[in-house]
Amino acid sequence: MKAFISVDLEGMPYVVIPGHLNLKGALYDEARKISTRVTLIVAEELNKNGFDEVVIADSHGPMVNLLVDELPEYVEIVRGYPRPISMLSGIEGCDAALFLGYHAKFGTARSTFDHTYSGGTINELKVNGIAVSEFLLNAYTAGDLNVPVILVAGETRLLKDDVTKHAPWAETVALKRSFSRVSARSFSMARIEKELTQCVKRAVGNFRQNQVEPLTAEKPVKISIAFLASHFADVAELSPMINRLDGLHVEYTTSDMIEAYKLFELLVLAASGVSALLEKRR
């Protein structure tokens, strides 16, 4: 069997300030070590429970965060960005998915680093009228490939707001409990490791007993985006597939989630590009 792990950073334990999150951050090395340890705990337990292949998608920011010098033989890692279906690249052909270090969507109160995919460009993303987090966006897309999400580990608000509501079969592990956007409490790594191993065992058991299911979006898929600034919508409107609703809102319809995800990723890249262009003109 083959498992897929998508790894984000904002929902990891102990990660609480911007200096944890970027390549030049003062505490970035600490965050990398934390994220790598959490990921390898999960990968090892999956292997012990019958998954002879594990594909890990390094999925935060530039997507080169995980340390690779101690990867087990049974692991493949996907790194770098941009890439097709972004945080899910490599999921094709996998039997089950696990999401680690995930966080709540933009606008969630008392939740560390709340954002939806791109904190600099996106206010809200809806799939068929449902405001989605990165978890829900990725779970719907995995569902298009008939891959169920069997475990989510991350920030507590995400687990309560989205995971238990939309994927109640998935095991959950709270890696942090937030006080604010930039503060949280987490248990010791020893306790987190114990909980992760127990939950992976349960998740695999649920999978073997057919007690999990792919999360699927109704087709055709309607995507609605609220940008943070009107010039992002100006650029998005250049595509003939995009219907602009007002200064900040656009929408489009696709045949499936894979196509919807790719177009969304393109619009985010375009918005980031115009931000960079305007910055050069200062």
Q: What is the pLDDT of residues 151-172, one digit of tens each?
A: 999 999 999 999 999 999 999 9
Mean pLDDT of 40-59: 98
Beta bridge partners of 78: 57
Measured distance between the N- and C-terminal CA atoms of the chain, rounded to whole angstroms: 53
Residue 279's pLDDT is 86
pLDDT category at 104 given cuts 50, 70, 90 is: very high
Residue 141's pLDDT is 98
Q: Which fold has domain 2-122+133-208?
A: Rossmann fold (3.40.50)
Half-sphere exposure of 183 (CA within 13 A, CB side): 2
CATH class of residue range 221-280: alpha beta
pLDDT category at 280 given cuts 50, 70, 90 is: confident
Q: What is the CA radius of gyration of the chain?
A: 18
Of 38, 178, 154, 32, the C-alpha closest to 103 is 154
Residue 263's pLDDT is 98
* Sequence ranges of the chain with CATH classification 3.30.1360: 221-280
C-alpha dist (Å) from residue 223 to 129, 132, 205, 276: 8, 10, 34, 25
Per the prediction, the chain carries an average pLDDT of 97
Residue 144's pLDDT is 97
- Which amino acid makes up residue 2? K
pLDDT at 278 over 90: no
CA angle 89, 95, 100 (to 5 degrees): 55
Mean pLDDT of 73-90: 97
Residue 282's pLDDT is 85
> What 3-state DSSP class applies to 119?
coil
**What share of the chain in percent tops pLDDT 70?**
100
Cα four-point dihedral sign 239, 241, 246, 249: negative
The string of pLDDT tens digits covering residues 205-251 is 999 999 999 999 999 999 999 999 999 999 999 999 999 999 999 99
* Sequence ranges of the chain with CATH classification 3.40.50.10780: 2-122+133-208
Neighbours of 119 (CB within 10 A): 13
